[in-house]
A and B are shown apart, each in its own frame.
Chain A
């Protein structure tokens, strides 16, 4: 507990640094929000009027201080583009990002871990080579290309899955939690959850491809190393079955390095996967951030980055704690 508290405390300077850097960087982009918002044809007068209305004409340090004062009250500010609170803009999109990241994570684990284990056990065989080639493809294939291939095959040729979106446009539902899979069940409309699941599969697979390939490579290498260790020989000598040796002793140790990669990749996914979200019209954090930068929507850029930094740090803390669960030696150190 003490460890967790100490880690949470060390978060504060990181977030403060993120705030300062993002505040100054977003203002260093040429052109200002009033120009972006008014579009071509606006006069200097109109732009000046909007700048005054948005309080962009105040000196930057003053703007920063008033932003900090707002933050202290839990107020992330108001979007310059939509005029809605930044917190609600982020919260509205966060469930979509969480849902997509979690699904991608599950798929990556389900594919990557067995593939890695299998390749390691059949080290240097045809299967090992095949898995290595596949994982190389997974790591190097651009997301938009994989997305297009999956859309062409599964949506257009086979007609199994929808091309894009998060829910069929004809479904008239009031979101409850924002998690489309859950909302259907809560509302007593499982067909809605089914529809959401069908929409989720393709983007999740695109996001998972890179991660699954990375996981497979990590698990494979770690497994090869672990399976050569003395304790594996001891376990076998004790007469343990091969399954217990591989999964109980081998994999448990080999998963540790993969966990770091997974944790960091998951944290990155929470920051939004702009390409995947764009191709599949997925309303996540990545697109919010992209549009905010294009529109010079400073409060949204700052708010989204802050939330992203927070999620990133919290995820890496969770990974560290998970280490303790998997490795009793680390648990003792954490105390």
Chain B
């Protein structure tokens, strides 16, 4: 009994001590919610090192907030480039070299000075280390530093769009001193010149960035940007609705359509829905190189293109969160030919049946498998198309696969039709056309697998390399017409970029290509802060 009393007394004393410590101890340091922006992301960044991040969207967005690129797209149109670390530039008339002048007095977060050597170091490092950038930066023949703030990049071939490649997050400028200090672990300690300084990373939990008080464009009004990793879409919605996060980033939408979320947020009024047209294209592509495939017959491809109810797809399935695509380029591209709108296929099941009959197919005799990715957006579009094709007598089976498996099928050419998409990382028609349609690249990547066609290849390369803007545009117009004649794909839609923002968050700019948000100009309306 004595023991029990003693045990009880001990417990009581411990509890008392804890209670006393509760009152005596200091509160934990917290950031001010009015000056902190909490951004929900679906998973951890792959890497915060521009030289190692292979166009992975979450890490890339953090990179554009920690680092600066030499140039960036100007909001809100995102069709012209403005200088960031570069104050000026001159592309040579033959588009084979680019001279850049740098802003003076810019410092990295570690206090070292930005100069032409640092730019040369960063670009050469990305070219060497980042497999994703080797195709584009591989064209760099040499980089010459002419004075501390001027450098010239010589190119192996004419590349009029080279400046737009420099606006990619992977082309961001890193601190050479920090790279030398951290080596391969630079991604855990990223140091740039950007509006925010990297503070901490907790695996599967958060990445915290802090205001750079010496930022050359002026310090941000935000004290911190806190990326919260919330993998579950419905948890992200709840957190956004009840104020646990301020911004819902768009990365998770590539596989699903947030139509229900939008309806619920619009009713609620506490969350604004930002909807911006993108450069993304979703299409049903034909295996244009498959010997013996029914889709090698132009009439079959045309018949399938007439079978699709485009308006029903955009309005019904995608809830108006997408735009129709009329050809190989989205309507938002500067090189889009408006004549494509008239030329594009329209919904005409009767014409489709006629073409199928002309090609020798009776209703039900043409059977195809439609391959696509996993994810609800792909499933709903695929089943909609399946129904459209069934109406004209084509039996389609839908096969969804995980990405690595789907890619393997695609590059090996083991398919007739596939539902796929393209999300360009730089704002230039080259990003859609060259890799997609150049027949010499047919087996080398996820392309349209175009059959050998020297004339078309020549036109694509001329358009890519032309240094006269008007001439370039005219060449892309011609290309769009020629590609449309060949029906290499059924161009379906371009889904809008959707960003959810709490209504007290102001100044957010949604970038379209690449779809990454910059938070430098963002602030919170104090009167509306609820925390």
Contact present for A164 and B244 (CB under 8 Å): yes
Q: Is A296 interfacial (CB-CB < 8 Å)?
A: yes
List residues of B (37-76) whose CB comes within 8 Å of A's CBs.
Answer: 38, 43-44, 46-47, 52, 54-56
Q: How large is the interface on A (under 10, 10 to 19, 20 to 34, 35 or more residues)?
A: 35 or more
Number of interface residues of B (CB under 8 A): 68
Residues of A within 8 A of B441 (CB): 43
Partner-binding segment picked from A104-112, A166-174, A244-252: A166-174
A282: nearest chain-B partner, CB-CB? B204
Q: Is B297 interfacial (CB-CB < 8 Å)?
A: no
Q: Is A116 interfacial (CB-CB < 8 Å)?
A: no
Contact present for A281 and B228 (CB under 8 Å): yes
List residues of A (63-110) whose CB comes within 8 Å of B's CBs.
Answer: 81-84, 89, 92-93
Q: Is B5 interfacial (CB-CB < 8 Å)?
A: no
B431: nearest chain-A partner, CB-CB? A41
| B38, B52, B226, B444 — most chain A CB neighbours (10 Å) | B444
Residues of A within 8 A of B132 (CB): 38, 42, 46
Residues of B within 8 A of A58 (CB): none
Contact present for B231 and A281 (CB under 8 Å): yes
Contact present for B203 and A89 (CB under 8 Å): yes
Please, how many angstroms separate the alpha-carbon atoms of A39 and B514 in the complex?
15
Contact present for A163 and B244 (CB under 8 Å): yes
Nearest-CB distance from B513 to chain A (Å)?
A: 13
> Please, what's the 1-or-0 string for A141-155, where 1 marks a CB less than 8 Å from any CB in chain B?
000000010010001
Contact present for A92 and B203 (CB under 8 Å): yes
Contacts known (A50-B131, A283-B203); A44 close to B411, Cβ less than 8 A: yes
Nearest-CB distance from A90 to chain B (Å)?
A: 10
Contacts known (A31-B407, A43-B435, A169-B38); A281 close to B229, Cβ less than 8 A: yes
Residues of A within 8 A of B445 (CB): 41-44, 46
Which among B44, B135, B204, B231 is the interface contact of A43 at CB below 8 angstroms? B135
A156: nearest chain-B partner, CB-CB? B242
Residues of A within 8 A of B188 (CB): 84
Contact present for A171 and B28 (CB under 8 Å): yes
Residues of B within 8 A of A294 (CB): 402
Residues of B within 8 A of A225 (CB): none
Residues of B within 8 A of A284 (CB): 204
List residues of chain A with CB under 8 Å of any chain B CB.
30-32, 35-47, 49-50, 53, 81-84, 89, 92-93, 148, 151, 155-156, 162-175, 184-185, 187-192, 195, 278-281, 283-284, 287-288, 291, 294, 296
List residues of chain B with CB under 8 Å of any chain A CB.
18, 21-22, 25-33, 36, 38, 43-44, 46-47, 52, 54-56, 131-132, 134-135, 184, 187-188, 200, 202-206, 208, 226, 228-232, 234-235, 238-239, 242, 244-245, 402-405, 407-408, 411, 420-423, 425, 435, 441, 443-446, 531
Which 3 A-B pairs give the minimum distances between C-beta atoms?
A31-B404, A283-B204, A189-B28
